[in-house]
Amino acid sequence: MTLQEFLQNFANGISLGSLYALIAIGYTMVYGILRLINFAHGEMIMVAAYIAFYTVFIFSMPWYISFFIAIIITTIVGILVERLAYKPLRSSPRVTILISAIGVSFFLQNLGIVLFTGRPKAFQVPTLFSQVYTIKGVNIVSLTFFIPTITVVLLILLVYVINNTKIGMAMRAVAKDYDTSSLMGIDVNKIISVTFGIGSALAAIGGIMWSMKFPQLTPTMGLMPGLKCFIAAVLGGIGNITGAVVGGFILGLTEILLVAFLPDLSGYRDAFAFILLILILLVKPTGILGEKIAEKV
Amino acid sequence: MLKINNLHVYYGGIHALKGISLEVPENKIITLIGANGAGKSTTLRAISRLVSASEGEIIFNNEDISKLKTTEVVKRGITLVPEGRRVFPDLTVLENLKLGAYLRNDKKAIKDDINHVYEFFPRLKEREWQLAGTLSGGEQQMLAIGRALMSKPKLLMMDEPSLGLAPLIVQDVFEIIKMIHQEGMTILLIEQNAMAALKIADYGYVLETGTITLEGTGQELLNNEQVKKAYLGE
Ligand SMILES: Nc1ncnc2c1ncn2[C@@H]1O[C@H](COP(=O)(O)OP(=O)(O)O)[C@@H](O)[C@H]1O
Ligand SMILES: [Mg+2]
């Protein structure tokens, strides 16, 4: 492999890893606060992608307004999913909520098929994101720069909110102890909604960028990235935001580099993530940065 | 200030409170003593609305609060220092105190009150930036009390603040309760350490398996033969 090829793949891996990281955060935040693997999280990618597609396609909106609307609506969908499908089950056994999450995931996929048909739609990538630059013989599309940049900015913002604002403090408190948080006057339900909102907004942004990178929309498009981001979150240590980011980048980079170095194995690209999941669960079930999380009292 | 009438609480099939009535007048220290499992914590958790009462009234300043959300109860001015302290272990001491003031927006006054808490508990100031989980048991109890004070409660409820602490620290805790009371705070105190609690209490209730069996001034209960036998180890 030439240096150029390596750099190209590396840039690709970083941008894929950024997307994984962005979406993995939603899994990890929800797990942190509810001890729930939100299997419907991947569907937020699909929801955001279709809204962005249709607002441009039907209403001919400029892309930035369409993206903005897609992010807002997806955020609302994420919050509603929690309110309608998880909150009523909050005192039920954990596995009941898990099943509900899987149900919501299937429901949204099938709703997508009903509303948008199963036929793939081609996502229109705004020219800002589709310009190709040639740097020292390496061809790189502008999106490859935008994705990690946007991701880093969002991560900094998120870390700031969580560590330095009142609502962030409340989120950390609720993640530890509902009862004591409510004794502080914190509205626990509101904080859980905020958490779902933030996770869904990040997934929406990730989903829109995903659709620009892989511009083909189907109602089940959220499934595979959703699973991989879940794996990224487990790899980094579920419940830990930094872990989700680390896991996302590791997964994205290894996936791309594996295919680049061992092209014969490229058919196993998706299987690789699952093999990785099995390995982590065998070797270090708490993930790279995870610590044992106590059962919620 | 607070008046409870015929309060019943069930945990599934367990009848934890079987119709208790008690009263907490303003500016007094009232204590509730009783053996493990008598229902003391349940009483406080019912007042804070962490558990629901199936029957009965909880009247606070002429308002029935027995159907409110916990947040609303805190807004009315009732704060609970929960059993086992329950500080947020991976938040700093300062953050724990700020969380106590979660419902307040008066930044300047919050800052003054944090300093006031530090006057009560100088050790907390030294450890301002330390994670609460790294504090000793006694320090965590100070933090839990300080955090509760940050909400500027009208009624401060404490669930076994001396539990699991070394005897010397226990003395400190009771000193602090007295000091807080001298500043005009109304206190509802739960203790297994009946002797120490009755000594500082204006009035006390004895709870046995969900029923109040005795009540009287702190002094009366200290002299009561039954209390002496069952709770004072004489
Ligand atoms: N969460 C709960 N679920 C079921 N039973 C409980 C729960 N909490 C307390 N109890 C029961 O209610 C009774 C009173 O408990 P509690 O109020 O904690 O007593 P105390 O604080 O006086 O030790 C006990 O029999 C206890 O086992
Ligand atoms: Mg108790």
**Domain of B61: which CATH number?**
3.40.50.300
Contacts of A176 in chain B (CB under 8 A): 88-90
Domain identity same for B233 and B161: yes
Number of H-type helices and E-type strands within chain A: 12, 4
* Interacting residues of A199 by C-beta distance below 8 A, sequence separation 6+: A25, A26, A27, A29, A30, A38, A41, A78
* Interacting residues of B71 by C-beta distance below 8 A, sequence separation 6+: A182, A185, A186, A187, B103
Domain identity same for B192 and B220: yes
Mean pLDDT of A233-241: 92
Domain identity same for B2 and B49: yes
Q: What is the largest CA-CA distance in chain A?
A: 61
Positions of chain B with pLDDT under 70: 234
8 Å CB contact of A180 and B82: yes
Instruction: Tell me: pLDDT of A297 over 50.
Output: no
Q: Which of B70, B78, B85, B107 to mutate to test the interface with A (most CBs of A within 10 A)?
A: B70
Domain identity same for B71 and B26: yes
Domain identity same for B148 and B162: no
Per residue in A179-202, pLDDT (tens digit) is 999 999 999 999 999 999 999 999
> How many angstroms from the chain centroid is the CA of residue A24?
4
- Amino acid identity of residue A288, one-letter, is I
Question: What is the torsional sign of CA B107, B108, B111, B113?
Answer: negative
8 Å CB contact of B71 and A166: no
Q: Which of B74, B99, B131, B145 to mutate to test the interface with A (most CBs of A within 10 A)?
A: B99
Could you tell me the pLDDT band of residue A263, with boundaries at 50, 70 and 90?
Answer: confident
pTM listed for this prediction: 0.92
Distance B42 CA to ligand 1 centre (A): 6
Domain identity same for B226 and B169: yes
Tell me what the pLDDT averaged over chain A comes to. Answer: 93
Of B134, B152, B170, the residue at which a domain comes to its end is B152
Quick one: which ligand is closest to B160's CA? 2
Of B116, B137, B152, the residue at which a domain comes to its end is B152
Q: ipTM for the complex?
A: 0.93
Interface of A with B (CB under 8 A): 166, 169-170, 172-173, 176-177, 179-187
Contacts of B52 in chain A (CB under 8 A): none
Domain of residue B173 covers 1-77+155-234
Beta partners for residue A122, in sequence order = A216
Give the minimum alpha-carbon distance from A184 to chain B in angstroms, rounded to a whole number.
5
For residue A7, what pLDDT is reported? Answer: 87
Of B106, B129, B152, the residue at which a domain comes to its end is B152
Give the minimum alpha-carbon distance from A70 to chain B in angstroms, rounded to a whole number.
33
Domain identity same for B27 and B63: yes
> Structurally, how many domains does chain B consist of?
2
For residue A291, what pLDDT is reported? Answer: 72
Alpha carbon distance A18, A24 (integer Å): 10
Alpha carbon distance A73, A58 (integer Å): 17
Quick one: which ligand is closest to B209's CA? 1
For residue A292, what pLDDT is reported? Answer: 64
Lowest-pLDDT range of A75-84, A152-161, A181-190, A273-282: A273-282
Alpha carbon distance A239, A159 (integer Å): 14
Domain identity same for B160 and B146: no
Domain identity same for B118 and B212: no
Residue A51's CB is within 10 A of a number of other CB atoms, namely 22
Give the architecture-level CATH label for domain A3-283.
Answer: Orthogonal Bundle (1.10)
Mean pLDDT of A272-281: 89
The pairing of beta strand B2-11 with beta strand B55-60:
antiparallel
For residue A294, what pLDDT is reported? Answer: 56
Domain identity same for B67 and B177: yes
Domain identity same for B132 and B160: no
Could you tell me the pLDDT band of residue A6, with boundaries at 50, 70 and 90?
Answer: confident
Could you tell me the pLDDT band of residue A293, with boundaries at 50, 70 and 90?
Answer: low
Per residue in A25-50, pLDDT (tens digit) is 999 999 999 999 999 999 999 999 99
For residue B202, what pLDDT is reported? Answer: 95
Residue A5's CB is within 10 A of a number of other CB atoms, namely 12
The residue to mutate among B9, B11, B158, having the most atoms of ligand 1 within 8 angstroms of its beta carbon, is: B11
